A and B are shown apart, each in its own frame.
Chain A
């Protein structure tokens, strides 16, 4: 039985990291959160554009995502930074963090007397929480079933669908076989791949929900009345040999492997079931990862043919490329080279190697984006900003 030490949270979830996170309640607090985090080794800062002058679903989504990230399994404690006049209900978020058993300190920039003084407070708070959470951590041996793995691609090229995504698919199959929760996302990148979804052996009800979501997104594209070429696929996708959105989608869907879909999740909704779930997210990698992280993903597998340095803060992001030239050129950003498939290396062997790397990362091996502290998050916005 495979096991690795995990940080146990009061709600029963298990983290493979024990981050102290500095999280801004709104756009105005974001620069401080990032700057303060860079001053304390091993502390992660988040940044987003929301939290103020938002209405309806945008307000609800931002608040929900912040709540879920503040109580993410990989988070041990939080410094929550508010400017003080934003719409985000930061007081209730701070209460919720406390209730989750995590230490939390609220920094109020206006009450602190401005950004300089608030910065000092935030740095001090982060240092204190980091020290406390290192001492009080409850560590238990857990297994694959405690992993929630988000599947992502960004900066795809022709090799993504031929190598990196099929290798991720193999690893996803093994994860599911051993009881993990696995999430496929990016509704946009199923446009043209509906046959692959319908051929999946999952429950017809779940598959229909996925197809309906794809239709909804395509209708939004159509309503926009735009020629999407050059946006989907992106200029980089096209330079990498991908000609159409349909071609990109058919390559993307290989990440899911061969398991049946067991659940359909709205954006940011917690993954509930062992096995393969689909989450309805935008095609942009950063917003997609933000949704899956809010859904509890504690590890990401991210394929990138062209080469992307982006990882998600709080969630170790394993970068996989099927393009040997990209791997060589961007070795500081990429964790795994799957291009051996083009030289006859069996897919099963590459899938097993990636699975082994997942175990190492779960045991604490830092990914390239963690080493580089190259993080980004993004919360989708649909309504007007008031």
Chain B
């Protein structure tokens, strides 16, 4: 197994090894290198859409994210406990 999808609702999967750009995983073409432990989008995600891991929202997309892109702090943000967003 190269990618871990924890819940059928998830729209991100976690790389279980360093996955190079250009490889195909679960029918998705990786558009970037996905290092071990990092997440990739399993489907296209719209700006402001929820990011789902463990079947629960872990934040929202800051931009449009295509399937196979790296999903991390550059393109998603947590929304809980964020006093700066009030």
Contacts and interface: CB of A to CB of B under 8 A. Distances in A.
B72 interface: yes
Range, interface on chain A: 35 or more
Contacts, number: 99
A282 to B, nearest CB: 13
B39 A161 contact: no
B81 A243 contact: no
A105 B81 CA distance: 46
Contacts of B79: 246
A87 interface: no
Interface string A223-245: 11111110010000010110111
B73 A245 contact: no
Question: Which among B53, B77, B81, B83 has the highest number of chain A CB atoms within 10 Å?
Answer: B81
B78 interface: yes
Contact of B78 (A159, A226, A245, A305): A245
Contacts of A232: 81
A217 to B, nearest CB: 8
Contacts of B39: 158, 241, 243
Interface residues of B, number: 30
A241 B38 contact: yes
A241 B76 contact: no
Contacts of B77: 229, 244
B82 to A, nearest CB: 6
Interface in B20-67: 35-39, 51, 53-54, 56-59
B83 A247 contact: no
A342 interface: yes
Contacts of A162: 4, 6, 14
Contact of B80 (A218, A226, A240, A323): A218
Contacts of B80: 191-192, 218, 244-246
A201 B36 CA distance: 34
A247 B78 contact: yes
A344 B4 CA distance: 12
18 contacts: A158-B37, A192-B56, A195-B56, A221-B81, A224-B83, A227-B83, A228-B78, A228-B81, A232-B81, A238-B72, A241-B39, A243-B78, A244-B59, A246-B59, A247-B58, A247-B59, A305-B37, A342-B1
Interface of B: 1, 4, 6, 14, 16, 35-39, 51, 53-54, 56-59, 71-73, 76-84, 86
